[in-house]
Structures are given as C-alpha cells and as structure tokens.
Amino acid sequence: MNPDKPTILIIYTGGTIGMINDPANGSLKPFDLNKIMEHIPEIKSLGYRIESHSFDSPIDSSEIEPAIWTRIAEIIEENYQAFDGFVILHGTDTMAYSASALSFMLEDLAKPVIFTGSQLPIGALRTDGKENLITSIVIAAAKEFDKPVVPEVCVYFESKLARGNRTTKVSAEQFNAFQSANYPYLANAGVHIIYHREAIRYPGEPKELVVHKEFNNHIAILKLFPGITSEYMDAVLGYQELKGLVLETYGAGNAPTESWFLERIKIAIEKGVVILDVTQCIKGSVELGRYETSRHLLNAGVISGYDITTEAATTKMMILLAQNLDDEEVKMLLNKSLKGEITLP
C-alpha cells in the first residue's frame, strides 16, 4: 500500500453498527469488527492504510462508564504517532457523553477523532452504518496543506459532522439521530463533503498530546420540574460524597424562588458542592440574572453553563473535579470554554 496514503485506526467499542440477529431468540448480539469490514468492501477502494482495534467484549452503550473512556483514550494515546486519524464505532445512546468526555480528556489534540455508529446493524438491508463509517473514515483522513482538516473530537451521523461536545441524541428512530442545536455543523456530506472551516477549532503551536484519565463521578444531575419537593432535593443533595451538581433549570436558567429551594442550594454550595446551571431547552442559553427567577441562583453562587449540553457539562465536571484544583479554579474553568463547548456572551 502507498505509504503516502492516510493511516486510520478504527476503534470498535460496540453498538448497533456491529450487531447481528441471534437466531435463537431474535435479539441483537455483537460480532467482531472483521465481519463489519466484510460488509463494506468499498473501504478497500479508498486506498488508505486502515487498521482496527476491537474491545475484547463489545460494550452496549448503556454500559459505558468513565473506565471505558479511559480505555479509548489510552488506545489513541498509544497509537497517536502512528495514525493520521481515528474513527470510534460506538453505540448511539451514550455517544454524546463519550464524545464530550474525549474532547476534554485529549488536551492539545491535533488529529481527527470521529465517533460514529448506526441506528440499524451493518448487515441490515437499509443500514445507515455503511455511509456513516465510510464518510467518517474519509473525514478522519482529510488533509489540506498536509494538516488535518478537522483536528477535533467529532460525531458524524447522517451526513452531518458536529463538534463532539455540542451533540445530543434526539431520536431513537430517525437516522438523523444527533443534533448540534447551539453550534454550527463542522461539515455536511452530500455529493461533496463541505467543510465549514470557520466553525472548526484549530490548534496553535504543536504540543505533545496530554491525556487526562481521572474522573470524579461523585456528581448528580437534578432536573427541575413543576411540583419538585424539598424531600426530593434532600435526597439528591444529601449524598454525602457529592462534589458537583448539574442543575437543569427552565428556559434561560430559571428556578423556583421559594425559600426552601434557595436554602438548600446555599447549604450545598457552603458544603463545597459546585453547582452548574444548564438549560433544559435543546436550543438556547442560560442567562443568570436576566429574570428575577434566576437572580437568586446567581447571588447564591451558582455558575452559568451558558449553552453547554448536559452531556458536556457532566463529563467536563467529572474531569475538572478529578484534578488537583481548588473550588474556585473549578468554577472558573466551568465558566470558561475549554474545547469550544460553550458560547460565551
């Protein structure tokens, strides 16, 4: 094979793309990556040097946990110098969490890391996995002036390439399963792949890849709803090891103004719990203080997550809390765009 051709590593973690029907009970079960490649012989015509790494036991995306993110990051770290780009085959249910996590874990990343998968198994007649995988490989290999076109952690699905930490899964049925509601897509694939370079983050001076592998998962997500009770809040905030809280509020960051609600928020913050306010809305941004129903949160010390997704907020908080930082440093970094995950006003 031509040594000047791009080199791509495919990392197969599991997911629907690698499933087949079990004739015994009709359920889906995983099969190995080599069989996936057999279903897409067109990949060979690309002329790239493509290698693969499969998890010994493919993992359903509902089983994903921080230890799996670390395994993926270590595979990239170990092979970083040998490959031009990486394609990660992953189940769709937690793909947005994994792509968000990897975006924060891979500091000074200068190569493409493309997450993809499918809604139908690769062997199904109408599978979306074939196009998703082929185009992900092409994007991971794309260069201009000998530099990667998209040196970011991304999600590619149904003709759209999105920044990984901007994505949310919005459909369990449609092939167009992911949305980047608050940030432009990085590329659109039709007859040609159109890259939107103004939306892509490019690294500055070349630096060595640094991989953050530690997580503090002593966090919680508290979604507000009409009728929420003090007992419910006590159950969540009463977790003794709680270090961080992603508070999913209404609209532009609004929450109840009852004294019992604010009292519990203040007590948690006084105990050292970092609270990040994110909106329940798919599109839009938190604007603490814009309405009276959010000013009390701002005054209590709650941090604005602006337009960050819950997936990015969760993984970013886990990684920051695991670092040797004091509370004020964590708050400052949560309030800052580290990997293009938030749009600052």
The domain tally of the chain equals: 2
Annotation says 315 is catalytic: no
Question: Does residue 273 surpass a pLDDT of 80?
Answer: yes
Cα 142–145–151 angle (5° rounding)? Answer: 45
For 2-27, the pLDDT digits (tens) are 557 899 999 999 877 777 666 666 66
Which residue has better confidence, 179 or 1?
179
Question: Does residue 128 surpass a pLDDT of 70?
Answer: yes
pLDDT the model gives residue 26: 62
* Alpha carbon 229 to its chain's center: 31
Pairing state between β 274-279 and 28-30: unpaired
Q: Which of the four pLDDT bands, split at 50, 70 and 90, describes residue 126?
A: confident
Question: Does residue 96 surpass a pLDDT of 50?
Answer: yes
Tokens read off for 68: 């799996």
Rounded distance between C-alpha atoms, residue 51 and residue 305, angstroms: 39
Q: Which of the four pLDDT bands, split at 50, 70 and 90, describes residue 324?
A: confident
Residue 306's domain comprises: 219-334
CB distance 242 to 233 below 8 Å:
no
Rounded distance between C-alpha atoms, residue 36 and residue 274, angstroms: 44
pLDDT the model gives residue 174: 84
Section 284-298 average pLDDT: 85
**341 in a structural domain:** no
223 and 207 together in one domain = no
258 and 195 together in one domain = no
Residues forming a β-bridge with 30:
19
Entry pTM: 0.93
Section 115-125 average pLDDT: 81
pLDDT the model gives residue 3: 57
CA end-to-end distance (rounded Å), the chain: 49
Q: Which of 67-76, 127-136, 269-278, 314-323 has the lowest mean pLDDT?
A: 127-136
Domain endpoint, select from 193, 211, 229: 211
Section 159-182 average pLDDT: 92
Section 39-52 average pLDDT: 85
123 and 199 together in one domain = yes
56 and 182 together in one domain = yes
54 and 140 together in one domain = yes
Share of the chain above pLDDT 70, in %: 93
Q: Give the amino acid at 56.
A: D
112 and 174 together in one domain = yes
Domain endpoint, select from 192, 211, 230: 211
For residue 187, the surrounding DSSP H or E stretch is strand 187-189
**166 in a structural domain:** yes
169 and 117 together in one domain = yes
Choosing from 16, 70, 309, 315, the catalytic residue is 16
pLDDT the model gives residue 29: 64
CB distance 149 to 201 below 8 Å:
no
- Which residue from 328, 334, 239 is spatially nearest to 286, judged by alpha carbons? 334
**15 in a structural domain:** yes
CB distance 335 to 301 below 8 Å:
no
Q: Which of the four pLDDT bands, split at 50, 70 and 90, describes residue 1?
A: very low
Question: Does residue 198 surpass a pLDDT of 60?
Answer: yes
Question: Does residue 336 surpass a pLDDT of 60?
Answer: yes
Section 328-340 average pLDDT: 95
Rounded distance between C-alpha atoms, residue 175 and residue 310, angstroms: 22
pLDDT the model gives residue 206: 86
Domain endpoint, select from 211, 242, 257: 211
Q: Which of the four pLDDT bands, split at 50, 70 and 90, describes residue 59?
A: confident
For residue 259, the surrounding DSSP H or E stretch is helix 259-270
Question: Does residue 279 surpass a pLDDT of 80?
Answer: yes
**137 in a structural domain:** yes
CB distance 116 to 153 below 8 Å:
no
